[in-house]
Structure 1
């Protein structure tokens, strides 16, 4: 008998007059080094809703079925762009503000940088700190991906299509990423606590060559990736409702001290640690 395919988990909730639905399902085992997770979502609110999206060690793909949301320039809240059909956001070192008019519906795929490199077939430096129209970046054969996904009757069918499309691209990829994949995994496994000189020695390359490899296949140097990994661990910890003083959190997640943590939080979120923590707690109610 073949392995059972998991079904999407669907969670519905409300907050005040806002209502939402979130569908999630783990990616197929062979795709997990490349797809961190994917989710389908619908949200209705009585008026405009704005969010602060925080940087993470991933490339975000949004396929929109409803009116396109507003995406503001990184680190800003004035200039914005809409991307009909969705967008792709590369790695960045600061936050991005998004906003919708009271309704949004779509599918989000969070790719590892290596996964994005293989799927889109472009150097990740082309996406670093940028948001790009998804239809402009998708491979030609998947130009109608948004329409095909919207036409499907269930979230499971949509997740199946994403997996097939990605699997095809993975089988066709001729880009050599093994060295950077190993180094990326090492940084993630150690929560960002990796000495970059030691990492270069383990790989058998100069630090400059390692940085060049990371810029092409990840989009940022390994030192910044390590900071993003450490910060993302902190974010997930706080979104889960965990407690702890800032000094305790700094020690737990490998910061030199509380001041070091505060500097990273302020750069990555554009606000104070206390306010950032409150916003993350508010968002925790929408986690599956």
Structure 2
């Protein structure tokens, strides 16, 4: 269940998303830094993308594989976490094993400790651990980039035609280097486009949208959306617009 304080998260959290240095950009999508302050435990909803994450929190470093569905993480008191979101497809050489082996798991970090994590300190550690170039990793990352850039790709068969590789070849490539299947990755980015439409205030015809995204019916679309975001599409839309209205009221002249 989502935390009832979710609409007030800006009062308790501060987020930063620094970009990596150019030499690390082939490996790192972004850094993320979260500060929080809560007087009682807060259940933070985490919506997944196909990134592996390295996180430094409370002197402990962990690596989290791709989550196949939304998860919750507890935030309490005052705290900070510094994270590294790796580009999808590039983590296998760091891990030394198929990335599917850590899907839906958090494991101890294989990187050296960083007592006081900052962008320069973490980048120094990453540079000390850079793997040898891997053509398969470059290929996997490129296929994911193609999914992101081409909204018309809604099925694995279309991706296979685009890349000249069969569906089974893509399944093996993604299991080894991304950690989750190409169908999941396609659906994840197409569902992201749904939330962008909501943010733009567009009126959504759910049945037509489900068909546009390659779903057999609306029920399958609702199931996937709920697994990813922790609520139904209509529930998400209502809550999102409520949050936007509250933010506009707070930003209005004369508001306190």
- Structure-2-length-normalised TM-score: 0.75
1:123-134 aligned at under 5 Å gives the runs 123-132=98-107
- Which one is further off, 271-280 or 98-107? 271-280
Q: Deviations over 1:227-256 (max 9, x none)?
A: 112223334565xx4312232796499425
1:48 to 41, 53, 56: 41
Q: Deviations over 1:130-171 (max 9, x none)?
A: 222xxx2323xx1x22x142xxxxxxxx11222333334335
Q: Distance in 2 between matches of 1:47 and 1:185?
A: 40
Extract unaligned runs of 5+ from structure 2. Answer: 1-7, 248-256
Contact 1:49–1:101 (8 Å) recurs in 2: yes
Q: Distance in 2 between matches of 1:275 and 1:253?
A: 20
Q: Are 1:91 and 2:63 an aligned pair?
A: no
Q: Deviations over 1:164-194 (max 9, x none)?
A: 3333433545573232222222111113725
Extract unaligned runs of 5+ from structure 1. Answer: 1-14, 66-83, 150-157
Contact 1:18–1:43 (8 Å) recurs in 2: no
Following TM superposition, by how much is the alpha carbon of 1:283 offset from its aligned partner in structure 2, in angstroms?
7.8
Following TM superposition, by how much is the alpha carbon of 1:62 offset from its aligned partner in structure 2, in angstroms?
2.2
Contact 1:123–1:219 (8 Å) recurs in 2: yes
- Structure-1-length-normalised TM-score: 0.68
Contact 2:51–2:66 (8 Å) recurs in 1: yes
1:181-260 aligned at under 5 Å gives the runs 181-191=141-151, 193-235=153-195, 238=198, 241-247=199-205, 251=209, 254-256=212-214, 259=218
Tell me the equivalent position of 1:121: 96
Tell me the equivalent position of 1:177: 137
Structural RMSD (CA): 3.4
Query: Are residues 165 and 176 of structure 1, via their aligned partners in 2, closer, same or farther at CA, if it must alter by over 3 Å?
Result: farther
Number of positions where the alignment pairs a residue of Structure 1 with one of Structure 2? 237
Contact 1:37–1:110 (8 Å) recurs in 2: yes
